Amino acid sequence: MELVQMQKSLQDYTKSLFLDGVLDSQFLQLQQLQDESNPDFVSQVVTLFFQDSDRILNDLSLSLDQQVVDFKKVDPHVHQLKGSSSSIGAQRVKNACVVFRSFCEQQNVEGCHRCLQQVKQEYYLVKNRLETLFKLEQQIVASGGMIPAMELGF
């Protein structure tokens, strides 16, 4: 595939993530912090988010599988995940965490189980999409091209 075509595909793909609400403007903040002194900043932070989230989701699954659910343990995990997803612009994960927290407050075990599934779904979706995004970027760089700047006209 030609370089120009690859760059166009990347732009279209990135745009679709915003239009689908998978990412919000906070992701653009992340991109703005990337520069020559830190050319992999975005992927570093996103990788950190993936590692953090995998751990949190695992802990959440364990906590909710207990005979007696300790919401004092569940809520801080959800808060953490809400915080980090919000920081990188993973909007749908963040929104799912907001709902999750309200069920924690109500100490609704069934509701929390449903929310955990929802959060996992949104998380795997954004993870998958961002991994694809980074692959597209790598292909462009490998072909000697530059990553096009994100246009905000949508």
Partner 1 sequence: DSENGVPASFKVPAGVVHKIFSYKSSVIFCCSQERKIRREMADEVPSLAESKLTALVVDDNFVNQTMHHKLLDRLGIQNDVVCNGQEAVDVHCSGRNYDLILMDMEMPILNGIQATKRLREMGIESKIAGVTTRANEGDKKEFMEAGLNDFQEKPLTISKLLSILHRLDFYVQT
The residues of the shown chain that bind partner 1, judged by CB under 8 A, are 26, 29-30, 32-33, 38, 41, 44-45, 48-49, 52, 76, 79-80, 82-84, 86-89
Farthest CA pair distance, the chain: 58
| Closer CB to partner 1, 7 or 84, in the complex | 84
| Closer CB to partner 1, 83 or 117, in the complex | 83
Q: How far apart are CA 143 and CA 152, in angstroms?
A: 25
| Closer CB to partner 1, 21 or 76, in the complex | 76
- Owner of token pair 């994960």: 93
Least Å from the CB of residue 80 to partner 1: 6
Contact 22, 90 (CB under 8 A): yes
Least Å from the CB of residue 48 to partner 1: 6
Contact 93, 81 (CB under 8 A): yes
Least Å from the CB of residue 29 to partner 1: 5
Least Å from the CB of residue 113 to partner 1: 24
| Closer CB to partner 1, 79 or 120, in the complex | 79
Please, which residues have CB within 8 angstroms of residue 140's CB and are 6 or more apart in sequence?
Answer: 3, 6, 7, 10, 146, 147
Direct distance between the N- and C-terminal alpha carbons of the chain, in angstroms, rounded to an integer: 26
